[in-house]
Chains A and B, each alone.
Chain A
Amino acid sequence: MRLLAQDLAKSYGETQAIDRVSIPLEPGRVHALVGENGAGKSTTLRMLAGVEKPDQGEMSLDGAPYAPVNASDAAGRGVALVFQEITINRSLTVAENIFIDRLRRFSGRLGLIDSRRVNQAAQAILDRLDLRISVSADLESLNLGQWKCIEIARALSTDPKVLLLDESTAYLDHREVESVLEAIRQLKNQGITIAFVSHHLDEVRSVADHLTILKDGHWVGSFATKDIAPDDIHRLMVGRDLSKGIYPPRPSVSDREPEEAIIFEARNICLGQELIEASFQVRAGEILGLAGLKGSGADGLFCVVGGDRPKTAGNMWLLGEPFQPATPADAWRAGIAHLPGDRTGEGLIVDFSVLENLLMAGFPRWGPFFDRRKAVTQGRELISRIGIKAAGVDASCRSLSGGNLQKVVVGKCLATRPKLLLLNNPTRGVDVGARLEIYQLIRDLVNRGLAVLLSSEDMPELLGMADRLLVFRGGRIVHEFLDAAATTEHEIVRYMT
Chain B
Amino acid sequence: MSDSKPEAVTGMGKSVPKGVQSSPLLPDFATVRRFFPIALLVVLCIAFSLLSPRFLTWSNLLIVLEQGTVLLVAALGMTFVIMAGSIDLSVGSIVALSALTAALTSDSLGAAAIIPAAVVGVLAGLINGIIVAKGKVPSFIATMGTMVIYRGIVLLFTKGAPVSIDGEGFLSTFADRTFGVPHSVIIGLILGALAFIILNRTVFGREVRAVGGGERVAALTGIRVVRVKVWMFAFLGALCGIAGLLQAARAMAATAQLGEGLELDVIAAVVVGGTPLTGGIGSISGTMLGVLIITLLSNGMNMIGVDPYLQNIVKGTVLIAAVFLTIDRKKIGIIK
Contact = CB atoms under 8 A, between A and B. Distances in A.
B201 A369 contact: yes
B220 A344 contact: no
A328 B1 contact: no
A402 B5 contact: yes
Contacts of A361: 221-222
23 contacts: A84-B5, A84-B6, A85-B8, A170-B9, A171-B10, A308-B220, A327-B219, A328-B220, A328-B221, A340-B220, A344-B8, A345-B214, A345-B217, A346-B220, A349-B214, A349-B217, A356-B209, A360-B217, A361-B221, A368-B203, A401-B1, A401-B4, A430-B5
A42 interface: yes
A447 to B, nearest CB: 26
Interface string A398-432: 00011001000000100010000000000001100
Contacts of A372: 201
Question: Which of the four size classes fits the interface of chain B?
Answer: 35 or more
A116 interface: no
Contact of A38 (B1, B9, B207): B1
A352 B210 contact: yes
Interface string B200-228: 11111111011001101111111110100
A110 B52 CA distance: 60
A369 B221 CA distance: 19
B336 interface: no
B3 interface: yes
Interface in A1-34: 10, 12, 15, 17-18
B83 to A, nearest CB: 12
Nearest to A338: B220
A70 to B, nearest CB: 14
Interface of A: 10, 12, 15, 17-18, 37-43, 84-90, 139, 144, 147, 167, 170-171, 217, 306, 308, 327-329, 331-333, 338, 340-352, 356, 360-363, 365, 368-370, 372, 401-402, 405, 412, 416, 429-430
A430 B6 CA distance: 11
B7 interface: yes
Interface in B167-222: 200-207, 209-210, 213-214, 216-222
A17 B203 contact: no
Contacts of B221: 328, 332, 360-361, 412
B15 A15 contact: no
A272 to B, nearest CB: 20
Nearest to B13: A90
A41 B226 CA distance: 43
Nearest to B11: A345
B153 interface: no
Contacts of B205: 370
B281 interface: yes
A87 B202 CA distance: 40
A389 B164 CA distance: 65
Interface in B49-108: none
Contacts of B14: 86
A427 to B, nearest CB: 11
A435 B209 CA distance: 31
